[in-house]
Amino acid sequence: MTILQVRHALKIAVIGYGAIGSFVVEHLIGEPALDVVGMLSEPPPASTPQVRLFDSIDALLGAQPDVVVECAGHRALKAFGELVLCQSPDLLVASVGALADRELEARLHRAASASGDRLLSRVVPLAALTPSARRVRPA
């Protein structure tokens, strides 16, 4: 199933809760067409805003997200990217610099092709997922 085929609230999982991940989670929560089903962060954050925190990638994928948003850096993409794509959700990659590693990029594209899912590796503004992000004011 791809993002365009979803007819229910889009279930989103987030990997990483640093500067990017916390921004993504904060702006996706409360959007009626979206359901943030959980997140994975190592180390776990002290607090998360109304999001279930999972302790492993397998547990996170057990929540059956439609899309996993990677916000945790190159090592996380290398560690989890193929597994995410093989488990069937689409993968939205924030750490696009990791795709300069041609071997990693090829492995991710093979995994996406084999499972019929998509590796979304372009820099996508958060507004593509939620209109509330348009209301964000620069700090």
Categorize the per-residue pLDDT at 83 as very low, low, confident or very high, splitting at 50, 70 and 90.
Answer: very high
Q: Is 71 helix (H, G, I), strand (E, B) or coil?
A: coil
Q: Does this model's pTM top 0.85?
A: no
Q: Which of 111, 134, 135, 132 is nearest to 121 (CA)?
A: 111
What residues have CB less than 8 Å from 27, skipping those under 6 apart?
126, 130, 132, 133, 136
Rounded to an integer, the average pLDDT of 11-39 is: 90
What average pLDDT does the segment 109-115 reach? 84
What's the confidence (pLDDT) of residue 130? Answer: 54
Beta strands in the chain (DSSP E): 10-15, 34-40, 53-54, 67-70, 90-93, 119-120
CATH 3.40.50.720 fits 8-127, yes or no: yes
Q: What residue ranges do the domains of the chain occupy?
A: 8-127
Q: What pLDDT is attached to residue 13?
A: 95
The pLDDT-based confidence of 131 (bands split at 50, 70, 90) is low
